[in-house]
């Protein structure tokens, strides 16, 4: 893994036509830290997360992704991050292994089935299950999305309501994973309203709806 | 280069695997093509057109059926990614040109399957005589590629729109109309055996396909990311 990635954003605002999502938000997070984005429903947590991911452009403000002192260009940014969000789905016509192998292939990684099987076992899914994802429960689909986000061992992980649909043991597992990833020097951005998940982070950005 | 190709094949392979499991685009293409062909062959048939008009009119009918069948199913490649909320992860994981080339390859496979099914049936049911068979295959291949290149970029554009309904046909038609004219001209020449007209039509079709491919490759990263 590289030196670790830091994200800083200043005076970020987002507006869709006449609707203001948020006016001015600033913050930063570095390697080994967990930044928690919190606020009431509709306050723009997921939108801010999408802006930090690089999927949505802010109306105003600046977002910088850095590895040490070097700026990471936008085209290379996707390689460094993993995302779990309710607005992002995996392919429900494919099986769990097929999904992981597809994402591994397009990321230029090894598509060794054993690696995918190991990762699926790690998130609590049966690698031998041959049913397409559309037959999964929402909790199982969430576990697969987590596996997909961790597949390429990214330096930055964005989690939007990651514990939703997970059973208590799944939430415990996720908490342990987030702690382990942060201890390993990964940068984690977490958008949540869950009191328990809020405790995972050291830094917080509160959005006012 | 090999790695880039492997990523392109991964995108096309994923789409084909998903398509063979759901058969949404395949059913749309086949249903439209076969219904239209059945209606045309039943109402017009092989003998209701005067002998001297047959090469031109049958060429028109063949390409109309192929074009509109293609328009009925080829927009799915990108619309499905947006509707099923899989596009954001694909945007983050794959380079834009990989996605574009993968979707183009997928559309090319679908249009080739459509042509392989429809063209022999059309020739048999409508009594379309092909004087230059290999030239016909070359024209179909060039036309199929140009059609796939155009519909891929239009599908990417309309997938971002809120109201997609008829937008695909509306945006595709002006781009495809000149191509349609040259394909009809070339197919007529194939039936009558006029080699010179066929060559000029094929040149025009290949040029248009090349132009659309280059323009799409340049335009796609902006369409996909913004």
Over residues B37-64, the pLDDT tens digits come to 888 888 887 778 888 888 899 999 999 9
Q: Which residue of A has its CA nearest to B89?
A: A88
Q: Which residues of B touch A84 (CB under 8 A)?
A: none
Report pTM. Answer: 0.89
CB contact under 8 A, A83 and B92: yes
Query: A70-71 and A34-38 as β-strands: parallel, antiparallel, unpaired?
Result: unpaired
Averaged pLDDT for residues A54-81: 87
The whole-number pLDDT of residue A75 equals 77
Q: pLDDT digit of tens for each residue in chain B (226 aa)?
A: 888 899 999 999 999 999 989 888 888 888 888 898 888 888 887 778 888 888 899 999 999 988 888 887 777 788 889 888 999 999 999 999 999 999 999 999 999 999 999 999 999 988 888 888 899 999 999 999 999 999 898 888 888 775 566 677 777 778 888 999 999 999 999 988 899 999 999 999 999 999 999 999 999 998 888 7
Assign 3-class secondary structure to chain A: CCCCEEEEEEEEEEEECCEEEEEEEEEEECCCCEEEEECCCCCCHHHHHHHHHCCCCCCEEEEEEEECCEECCHHHHHHHEEEECCCCCCCCCCCHHHHHHHHHHHCCCCCCHHHHHHHHHHCCCCCCCCCCHHHCCHHHHHHHHHHHHHCCCCCEEEEECCCCCCCHHHHHHHHHHHHHHHHCCCEEEEECCCHHHHCCCCEEEECCC
What pLDDT, in 10s, does the model give residues A81-137?
Answer: 999 999 899 999 999 999 999 999 998 887 666 678 888 888 888 888 889 999 999
Q: Which residue of B has its CA nearest to A75?
A: B95
Q: Tell whether A28 lies on the interface with B, counting CB pairs under 8 A.
A: no
Q: Tell whether A87 lies on the interface with B, counting CB pairs under 8 A.
A: yes
**Closest to A78 (Cβ–Cβ): which among B10, B92, B226?**
B92
Task: Report the alpha-carbon distance of residue A159 to residue A138 in Å, rounded.
Answer: 16
- Structural domains in chain A, CATH included, are 5-206 (3.40.50.300)
Task: Report the alpha-carbon distance of residue B218 to residue B211 in Å, rounded.
Answer: 11
ipTM confidence: 0.88
Q: Which residues of A touch B10 (CB under 8 A)?
A: 102, 105-106
Q: Tell whether A55 lies on the interface with B, counting CB pairs under 8 A.
A: yes
**Closest to B92 (Cβ–Cβ): which among A53, A91, A98?**
A53
Between A and B, how many residue pairs show a Cβ–Cβ distance under 8 A?
Answer: 63
The residue of A65, A105, A152 whose CB has the most chain B CBs within 10 angstroms, and thus the best one to mutate to test that interface, is: A105
* Number of Cβ within a 10 Å radius of residue A172: 13
**Closest to A102 (Cβ–Cβ): which among B10, B88, B226?**
B10
């Amino acid at each position: 893994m590289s030196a670790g990635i830091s994200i800083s954003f200043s005076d970020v605002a987002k507006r869709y036509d006449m609707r203001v999502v948020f006016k001015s938000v600033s913050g930063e997070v570095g390697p080994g830290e967990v930044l928690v984005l919190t606020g009431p429903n509709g306050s723009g947590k997921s939108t801010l997360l999408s802006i930090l991911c690089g999927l949505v452009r802010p109306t105003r403000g600046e977002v910088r992704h850095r590895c040490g002192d070097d700026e990471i260009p936008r085209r290379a940014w996707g390689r460094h991050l993993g995302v779990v969000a309710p607005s992002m789905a995996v392919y429900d016509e494919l099986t769990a292994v097929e999904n992981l192998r597809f994402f591994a292939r397009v990321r230029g990684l090894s598509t060794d089935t054993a690696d995918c099987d190991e990762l699926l076992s790690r998130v609590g899914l049966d690698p031998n299950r041959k049913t397409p994802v559309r037959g999964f429960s929402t909790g199982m689909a969430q576990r697969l999305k987590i596996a997909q986000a961790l597949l390429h061992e990214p330096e930055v992980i964005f989690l939007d309501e990651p514990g939703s649909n997970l059973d208590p043991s799944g939430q415990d597992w996720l908490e342990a994973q987030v702690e382990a990833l942060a201890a390993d020097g990964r940068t984690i951005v977490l958008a949540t309203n869950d009191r328990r998940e809020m405790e995972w982070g050291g830094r917080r950005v509160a959005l006012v709806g | 280069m090999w790695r880039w190709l492997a990523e392109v094949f991964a995108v096309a392979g994923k789409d084909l695997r998903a398509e063979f499991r759901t058969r949404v685009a395949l059913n749309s293409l086949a249903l439209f093509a076969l219904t239209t062909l059945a209606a045309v062959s039943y109402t017009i048939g092989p003998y209701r057109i005067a002998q001297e008009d047959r090469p031109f009119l049958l060429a028109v009918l063949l390409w109309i059926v192929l074009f509109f069948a293609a328009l009925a199913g080829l927009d799915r490649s990108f619309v499905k990614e947006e509707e099923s909320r899989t596009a954001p992860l694909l945007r983050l994981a794959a380079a834009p040109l990989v996605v574009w080339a993968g979707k183009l390859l997928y559309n090319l496979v679908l249009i080739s399957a459509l042509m392989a099914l429809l063209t022999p049936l059309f020739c048999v049911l409508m009594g379309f005589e092909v004087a230059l068979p290999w030239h016909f295959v070359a024209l179909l291949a060039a036309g199929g590629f140009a059609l796939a290149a155009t519909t891929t970029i239009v599908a990417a554009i309309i997938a971002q729109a809120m109201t997609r309904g008829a937008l695909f046909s509306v945006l595709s038609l002006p781009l495809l109309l000149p191509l349609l004219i040259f394909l009809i001209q070339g197919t007529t020449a194939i039936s009558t055996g006029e080699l010179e007209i066929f060559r000029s039509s094929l040149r025009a079709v290949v040029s248009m396909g090349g132009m659309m491919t280059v323009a799409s490759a340049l335009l796609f990263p902006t369409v996909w990311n913004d």
